[in-house]
Structure 1
Amino acid sequence: MTDIPEQPLAGRLVGDEHHLLVRIYYEDTDFSGVVYYANYMKFFERGRSDYLRLIGVHHHELAQMDPPLAFAVTHIDITYKAPAKIDDIVLVRSRSTGVKGAQFFLHQRIERDGVLLCEAHFDAVCLGFDGRPRRLPKVLINAINHTVTDKKGG
C-alpha cells in the first residue's frame, strides 16, 4: 500500500498562493552541482500548471473547448538571487496578479528554507489552436480572479 504524501503531487493552495515542493535531482544541475539556470523555467512551469489545475483550469479541458484553447507565455522577467543545489527541496510559490482580455499575469518565486533563490513575473496569453489570441472564457477569468490580490485589469 502506498502512503498518501503530506504534500499532494499538485501542491496546495495557501491563501492567494499555490505552493509546490520540488526536489533538485542530478539531472537539474550543471557540472558545478548547482541548478542550471534554464531549469528554473521548468520548475516555474510545473508551478503554473499545478496552480491552474487546483483552481479548476485543466489543459486537456481547454483543448476540448469550442474553439480549442491553449496558453503561451509571452513575457518573462526573471531575477536569479542564489543557486539551488542537488538534493535541495525548493518551494515554488505562484500567485496570479490579474487578467486582461486574452492575457493573465503571474508572479512566481522559488525559495529554499525561506531564502529567495529566483523570482519571475510571467505574462501569458490564451490562444486558439490557430495561434490567434482569444479572450479568456468567463469560467477561467472567474477561477483566476478568485485568487487575485493585485489585479492588472479585468
Structure 2
Amino acid sequence: MTEQPSAGWLDGREHVLPVRIYYEDTDFTGVVYHANYVRYFERGRSDFLRLAGIRHAELQDQDAAFAIVRMALEFKRVARIDDALAVRTTYDSARGPRLFIGQQIFRGEDLICQAQVEAACIDLAGRPRKPPAGMLEQLRPYFA
C-alpha cells in the first residue's frame, strides 16, 4: 500500500480517497448537490494517477491530456453535511486512446453513488491520440 495523505492511498488495484462533506458541498437541505459527486470522482481519478506516478503537468509537457467522453452515474443514497466518504477508483482497461474507469463513493459500508467513466487521451488541440509512451505500462498493474 502506497500512502500520501493528501492523495489518498492505493489498496491493491483500487485507489481510496477520503472526502469530508462541508457546508459548501450541500444544497439548502444539507444534502450533497448532485453535481459535486462528479467533482469527487475527478479528484479520485487524478489522485489515482498521481500515486501511480503519472502527473498531469508531465502529460501536458508531452502534448497529452484527458477528456471525459462518457460518464454514467447511479445515485443510491444521499450524502449529508459532515459525512466522511470514501471515493474508490479502479482503472479497469485501455483500448486505443480510451481508458475505462469504475468509481464508487461509500459512507462506511453504504454505497452512495457509482460511476462508469470513459476517458480519452487527447492532444492539447483536442484531437484523440495514443497515451504517451510508458503511461499504459505504469497503469497495467492496476488493470482488471
- Give the equivalent residue in structure 1 for 2:26: 29
State the 1:143 CA deviation.
Answer: 1.5
Q: Which of 76, 79, 95 is equivalent to 1:81?
A: 76
State the 1:138 CA deviation.
Answer: 3.3
| SS in structure 2 at match of 1:82 | coil
- Give the equivalent residue in structure 2 for 1:147: 142
Q: Which of 58, 61, 66 is equivalent to 1:61?
A: 58
Q: How many residues align?
A: 142
Tell me, yes or no, if the aligned pair for 1:126 and 1:136 is still in contact at 8 Å: yes
Query: Is 1:137 the equivalent of 2:132?
Result: yes
Larger proportion of helix: 2
* Residue identity opposite 1:98 in structure 2: S
State the 1:137 CA deviation.
Answer: 2.2
Instruction: Give the aligned CA root-mean-square deviation in angstroms.
Output: 1.1
Percent identity of the aligned residues?
46
State the 1:7 CA deviation.
Answer: 6.7
Q: Deviations over 1:96-151 (max 9, x none)?
A: 110011010100000001110000000000000111000112311111221011xx
- Give the equivalent residue in structure 1 for 2:115: 120
Cα 1:33–1:14 change in 2 (3 A) is same
Q: Distance in 2 between matches of 1:7 and 1:129?
A: 29
Instruction: Flag the structure with larger Rg.
Output: 1
Q: Distance in 2 between matches of 1:146 and 1:134?
A: 22
Q: Deviations over 1:12-35 (max 9, x none)?
A: 000110000000000000011000
- Give the equivalent residue in structure 2 for 1:19: 16
- Give the TM-score normalised by structure 1: 0.90
- Give the TM-score normalised by structure 2: 0.96
Q: Which of 7, 28, 38 is equivalent to 2:35?
A: 38
* Residue identity opposite 2:111 in structure 1: L
Tell me, yes or no, if the aligned pair for 1:94 and 1:107 is still in contact at 8 Å: yes
Q: Deviations over 1:54-101 (max 9, x none)?
A: 001100000111xx1110000001100000100001000000110011
| SS in structure 1 at match of 2:5 | coil
Gaps of 5+ in 2: none
Q: Distance in 1 between matches of 2:120 and 2:95?
A: 9
